[in-house]
Structure 1
Amino acid sequence: MEWKEILIRYGELSTKGRNKKEFINRLRDNIRYTFTEISPLKMRTERDRMHIEIENDEQMKVLMERLPKVFGIQSFSPVAVCEKTLDAMKKLAIEIMDDFKEQQVTFKVEVRRSDKSFPLESHEIQREIGGTVLSHYKNLTVQVKKPEVELRIEVRNDAIYMMAQVIPGAGGMPIGSNGKSLLMLSGGIDSPVAGYMMMKRGVRLEAIHFFSPPYTSQNSLEKVKDLAYELSKFGYKIRLHVIPFTEIQVLIKERVPANTTMTTTRRMMMRIADKVREEVGALGIVTGESLGQVASQTLESLTAINDVTTTPIIRPLIGYDKLDIIDIAERIGTYETSIQPYEDCCTIFTPANPKTKPKVEKVNYYESFTEFDDLIERAVRNRELYIFPMKKQKADKFEGLL
């Protein structure tokens, strides 16, 4: 069986109006970026679907493996091709429907006949192919309305194109179609899920992480890098900004009442994130906070944290149950990395009885005795930048010769 192309269906993109072409072009560019190692891809876009031409088996394997993670795709189907004879069509139909031989399923044959010179009418093709498939596979039954499987045949000028398998895509919108935001990536379960959900809505992300050595280990930083890499698999690169936070965090512990240190720590993080956001041209800050999950995520605490910025703070998990968040983390492949037992800066210096209902005016008063501005500027200036996926280093052909 010869696979000729992959047909991609847009889903939500189909509801767009005059700017629909911009969304389709963004999806096309994201697919090309995701598959640079098998480029150039031959692609053709239409109003409600896209076609990727298949040139070899390796290309087909890579596309089938990673297309389900590209946002903006509702579903896709591998398309086989045969010559324009009835015998060839029957043979190909049997090969394609072999994927369903172990199941009791309903099916129908759907025909599109763009080559009007083809000698058989659409209903004749349906009857011939349907009869052949039914006689070969006794587990199949015909159902015209809402069948479980549609064997789709397109009679084009150059050949017969046929498909039956419909593979779900990631859905959502193409990354980059709804601007850019900065994700506060802690290393826990929640923040990667929050990032995933924003990417699904078409938001391009950069990430920021606060690193406090020696209180947090190099292993904790490597864990965050792994999470950034996992998020980059969904169709766009992730730039990770690592902030040296030890100096600020130690000062907070020394100068602010113990039960308020958690709130002040989050406020300093937010101030730093806002400066980085402005530098990189992001429009919002994304966090993994879920209402009431911990002391710093009560409505009063979130109000106190928000007080240091006028930038939109996007919290896509705000109403989610923890078990629901874990389910998503497992599905997207970040959970096992997130639960590695390495502390991040949010879990060190944690007070025994943190304030769950901090007052904004009191927090401002406690912080007024310490000059944080210069420390914040220095932390932003001294940050390290990592880009995922990392480019593979080319081997030095002269290495080892001297």
Structure 2
Amino acid sequence: MKEIILCKYGEIALKGLNKSTFESMMIKTIKRRLASAGEFRVTKSQSTLYVEPLGDEPDVDEFENRLSKIFGIVKLCRSGAVEKDIKAICEKAPEYLADVLEGARTFKVNARRSDKKFPLKSPEICAELGGAILEKFPHLEVDVHEPQVTVTVEVREDYAFIHSDPVDGAGGIPVGSSGHAMLLLSGGIDSPVAGYMMARRGAVVEAIHFEAPPYTSDRARMKVEKLAELMTAYCGDIKFFCVPFTEIQLKLRANCPEELFTILMRRLMMEIAQRICEKEDDIQALITGESLGQVASQTMYAMVCTDAACRMPVFRPCVGLDKAEIIEIARKIGTFETSILPYEDCCTVFTPKHPKTRPSLEEVEKAQASFDFEPYIKEAVEGTTVRLIKHI
């Protein structure tokens, strides 16, 4: 039996005249992400994308896994495609779903008849197929309220599609539908989650990382590159910028108040990131993994001081999440285990003993103006390396 994966979307269906634009973006993403998984065909109809694996023995599991990480898809239904005939449906459905039904105790049948020319109405389809399943699997009982398995028949234009309970997709809207943004990517737990969350809202995410050799090691940089690589499963290809930051941190430590070190460091990071964004020409915003009140540099006072150095919007999608919620998302997207590897980044090696939690903008700007950082900012921008981290 031919297997086709039905990819269903949510808010995209409400985009009105722009709906086709979002659909086209999703189809392009699907073609890129599935290209190395084998041959396939993608079509669309009735707010659903149909992905049909081709070839003699396609790896449908791999197709389904990759599709589950594409933003814009809300539900995935791995389905058997049957001719639109009730006898064929009653014969093929128990066979196709045998593995699921054999291990269950209760079930129900749900029918959706998009093709109104089909001779049987939905309740009649349910009755016919339910009887066929009970005949094939007499141990089963019907439970229409809390079934262990829901067998669904969708009678559409070309086929009747048979599937059990759908798999959750990544949700959101397609990457590329909301512009480009630059993620300040550290080696911690929060920033990869922030990048994921903005990509889920359609942003193309690039990443910038600040390293401080010899205080940070090659392994620390490789850890962050690995995080970016893991993010590509959801975000697609990521342009990765690596900034030499040692000299700036040393000048900060030697010339500025220790309690303001982290705030001043973040302001200079923002300045460097903005200049690189301006050189790239099409990046409209910055992204950070800050969560309000999580550490001293993430108080509201500190964020005000940081934002005052910014000429472009700063998105903080984790700002209202607690650490447990952020960790839960990190585990879901597969970055948590890499994030907790014990390699220090430049944000932690120079951490002051007693950082100021309520800095005023006036004192921060005065401290920053007490030393000319401009030559070192230019040097850092010019020394930045770039590589493209491809979707894995």
Q: TM-score when scaled to structure 2?
A: 0.92
Instruction: Deviation per CA, 1:37-59: give whole Å up to 9, x if none.
Output: 14663211124111112213334
Larger deviation: 30-39 or 201-210?
30-39
Structure 2 residue 359 is the aligned partner of structure 1 residue 386: no
Larger deviation: 226-235 or 207-216?
226-235
Cross-structure match for 1:174: 174
d(CA) in 2 for partners of 1:119, 1:356: 70
d(CA) in 1 for partners of 2:288, 2:301: 16
d(CA) in 2 for partners of 1:133, 1:17: 40
d(CA) in 2 for partners of 1:126, 1:366: 73
Secondary structure, in 3 states, of the residue corresponding to 1:270?
A: helix
In the TM superposition, what is the alpha-carbon distance from 1:114 to its structure 2 partner?
3.6
Distance verdict in 2 for CA 1:151–1:272, change over 3 Å: same
Cross-structure match for 1:394: none
Cross-structure match for 2:309: 308
In the TM superposition, what is the alpha-carbon distance from 1:72 to its structure 2 partner?
0.5
Residue segments in structure 2 that go unaligned for 5+ positions in a row:
none
Distance verdict in 2 for CA 1:234–1:140, change over 3 Å: farther
Structure 2 residue 368 is the aligned partner of structure 1 residue 367: yes
Contact 2:26 2:174 in 1 (8 A): yes
Q: Which amino acid aligns with 1:273?
A: A
Contact 1:210 1:243 in 2 (8 A): yes
Cross-structure match for 1:216: 216
d(CA) in 2 for partners of 1:121, 1:369: 79
Secondary structure, in 3 states, of the residue corresponding to 2:16?
A: coil
Cross-structure match for 1:326: 327
Query: Aligned ranges for residues 111-130 of structure 1 at < 5 Å?
Result: 111-112=112-113, 114=115, 116=117, 124-130=124-130
Cross-structure match for 1:399: none
Contact 2:68 2:168 in 1 (8 A): yes
Cross-structure match for 2:11: 12
Query: Aligned ranges for residues 44-193 of structure 1 at < 5 Å?
Result: 44-56=43-55, 57-82=57-82, 87-98=87-98, 99-112=100-113, 114=115, 116=117, 124-137=124-137, 138-141=139-142, 143=144, 149-154=150-155, 160-193=160-193
Query: Alignment identity in percent?
Result: 36
Q: TM-score when scaled to structure 1?
A: 0.90
d(CA) in 2 for partners of 1:385, 1:14: 38
d(CA) in 2 for partners of 1:211, 1:204: 23
Cross-structure match for 1:234: 234
Contact 2:236 2:391 in 1 (8 A): no
Q: Which amino acid aligns with 1:162?
A: I
Cross-structure match for 1:25: 24
Q: Which amino acid aligns with 2:16?
A: G
Contact 1:4 1:55 in 2 (8 A): no
d(CA) in 2 for partners of 1:228, 1:332: 12
In the TM superposition, what is the alpha-carbon distance from 1:86 to its structure 2 partner?
5.2
In the TM superposition, what is the alpha-carbon distance from 1:340 to its structure 2 partner?
0.4
Instruction: Deviation per CA, 1:352-379: give whole Å up to 9, x if none.
Output: 1111111221222222232211211221
Secondary structure, in 3 states, of the residue corresponding to 1:69?
A: coil
In the TM superposition, what is the alpha-carbon distance from 1:135 to its structure 2 partner?
2.5
Query: Aligned ranges for residues 260-271 of structure 1 at < 5 Å?
Result: 260-271=260-271
Instruction: Deviation per CA, 1:319-371: give whole Å up to 9, x if none.
Output: 11111111111111111000000100000121111111112212222222322
Distance verdict in 2 for CA 1:381–1:276, change over 3 Å: same
Secondary structure, in 3 states, of the residue corresponding to 2:21?
A: helix
Cross-structure match for 2:295: 294
Contact 1:105 1:140 in 2 (8 A): yes
Q: Which amino acid aligns with 1:178?
A: S
Larger deviation: 135-144 or 182-191?
135-144
